[in-house]
Amino acid sequence: MSTTGIALSGMNAAMLQLDVSANNIANAQTPNYRKQAVALEAAPEAQGVKATIVQTREAQSSIEGDVVGQMAATYYFRANLKVLQTEERMMGSLLDARA
């Protein structure tokens, strides 16, 4: 498995969640707007996660829920970034040991 691919797909999913939450907040007062959400599923062939935008049945967006979703997406992004940074450090150490 590619650690880089897994972490990058997680970062992309977190960024999509941020976009969807921002869109929900921006359209909270728009008549007939249906809230959007991000559906995640394992993508073994892509070595990571597949994120897609789905339409919910909810007629209105919960601004509080979307703000919490943004905070959670920020944590997911940071966690995946740490994985990339750790992998980079480990590869650097491995190359130093081999040189």
Exposure string over 48-81, b if 16+ CB within 10 A, otherwise e: bbebeeeeeeeeebeeeebeebbeebeebbeebe
Per-residue pLDDT tens for 37-70? 999 999 887 788 999 999 988 776 688 989 999 9
Query: Mean pLDDT score of the chain, rounded to an integer?
Result: 88
Residue 93: Cβ within 10 Å count: 10
Find out whether 52 and 59 touch, Cβ atoms under 8 Å.
no
Portion of the chain with pLDDT greater than 70, in percent: 90
Question: Which has the higher per-residue pLDDT, 28 or 94?
Answer: 28
Portion of the chain with pLDDT greater than 90, in percent: 56
Determine which of 17-21, 27-31, 81-85 has the lowest per-residue pLDDT on average. 27-31
Residue 83: Cβ within 10 Å count: 17
Q: How far apart are CA 41 and CA 58, in angstroms?
A: 22
